Amino acid sequence: MTVTLVYHARPEEVLITVGSQNALFLAIGILAKPDRLAVIEEPGYPDFVETLRRSDAPWRCVPVDRDGLDPAKLPDRTRLVVATPSHNIPTGATMPLQRRMDLLARAEVDDFLIIEDDYDYEMSYLAPPLPALKSLDRQGRVIYLGSFSKSLFPGLRIGYLVAGEPMIAAARDARAIMLRHPPTHLQRTTAHFLALGHYDAHVVRLREEMQRRRIEMMDALGRTEFRIAGTARDGGASVWLSGPDEIDSMDLAEHGRRRGVLIEPGAVFFETPPRPCPFFRLGYGSIPSDKIRPGIEQLQKACDELR
């Protein structure tokens, strides 16, 4: 299969935003309508749901599998799909190339749009990153969201929205009501950093470090009773875990916090979470390698306490 790996956007097709969250709010605010059924992933990013709730648009959750969102499971009359093809939040599932092509084909046949949150695409260090949906899009159906917050630092709050010129013009008008523009000194600093090639070198170092941490994390988890319920095949910076079925991850989070270990309880990622919910997400993006094994040991002790 021959695919295009790069999408060359014109300036009129790009809007700088205050992080990808701002881009998401703008995109859903423009596209989600009371007569347009929106579809999101389950488990999935909680802010997708919260943003749609404020739009008065009807929405449904579609379960993801080990390959992410399955286009064949989209309900009839779908008009908007919000997806994370690179790494599902929270499972880390990566959508294969064929499924990406199938999703775009379904969008053309059924006449719907796709908001692509390219979450954590930089963290593909076990395999080359797959082409974004936007780079494969020939019909202008994909609205692409991205951010430098995780790859550089969260406080930067520089994101971007890539779409057709009419969509960007509408998003620019909507953004102007909320804020005139993101701080220009941060934009110029980021642009200068990219132009000098420092960002590319930084991402290479970041991937090398994340791979070391992932190896340490997987080895440490292998000595516990926590089960890996989902992880990115090409890398990532977190793992989706399941504890014993009888233990709720909210309780585990509280006991873990007392021992100096923080986890993300899993119920928030579901519209209808299991009860008790044994799932949780554990990140290693900001933890030194030598702290991972002791942290996992403390988390296992917290689990033992709950019994």
Shared domain check, 180 and 264: no
Confidence of residue 6 (pLDDT cuts 50, 70, 90): low
Calculate the alpha carbon distances from 275 to 49, 245, 250, 251 in Å: 20, 9, 11, 12
pLDDT score of 1 more than 80: no
Query: CATH number for the domain including 297?
Result: 3.90.1150.10
pTM: 0.92
29 in any annotated domain: yes
Give the residue with greater pLDDT, 156 vs 290: 290
Mean pLDDT within 134-147:
95
Shared domain check, 191 and 57: yes
pLDDT tens profile 65-110: 999 999 999 999 999 999 999 999 999 999 999 999 999 999 999 9
Mean pLDDT within 43-66:
94
Shared domain check, 297 and 206: yes
Residue 277 CA to residue 268 CA, distance in Å, equals 10
288 in any annotated domain: yes
Shared domain check, 112 and 15: yes
Backbone angles phi, psi at 161, to 5 degrees: -125, 125
Shared domain check, 91 and 170: yes
Shared domain check, 103 and 17: yes
135 in any annotated domain: yes
Residue 300 has which token pair? 């296992």
Backbone angles phi, psi at 302, to 5 degrees: -65, -40
Task: Report whether 24 contacts 51 (CB < 8 A).
Answer: yes
Q: Supply the range of the domain harboring residue 186.
A: 11-195
Q: Which of 114, 115, 100, 182 is nearest to 148 (CA)?
A: 182
**pLDDT given for residue 2 in this prediction:** 46
The residue out of 138, 164, 195 marking a domain boundary is 195
Shared domain check, 174 and 34: yes
The residue out of 195, 218, 235 marking a domain boundary is 195
3 in any annotated domain: no
84 in any annotated domain: yes
**pLDDT given for residue 273 in this prediction:** 95
pLDDT tens profile 151-202: 888 788 899 999 999 999 999 999 998 888 888 988 999 999 999 999 999 9
Give the residue with greater pLDDT, 234 vs 290: 290
4 in any annotated domain: no
Residue 233 has which token pair? 């095949």
2 in any annotated domain: no
Backbone angles phi, psi at 80, to 5 degrees: -150, 130
Instruction: Return the sign of the alpha-carbon dihedral for residues 48, 163, 134, 147.
Output: negative
Shared domain check, 108 and 27: yes
Shared domain check, 242 and 99: no
Shared domain check, 236 and 90: no
pLDDT tens profile 211-223: 999 999 999 999 9
Mean pLDDT within 291-296:
97
**pLDDT given for residue 216 in this prediction:** 96
271 in any annotated domain: yes
Query: CATH number for the domain including 179?
Result: 3.40.640.10
Strand order in the sheet with 59-63: 14-17, 159-162, 142-147, 113-117, 78-83, 37-42, 59-63
Shared domain check, 188 and 209: no
Shared domain check, 236 and 190: no
Q: Which residues pair with 39 in a beta bridge?
A: 60, 81
The residue out of 195, 229, 250 marking a domain boundary is 195
**pLDDT given for residue 5 in this prediction:** 57
What total number of domains does the chain contain?
2
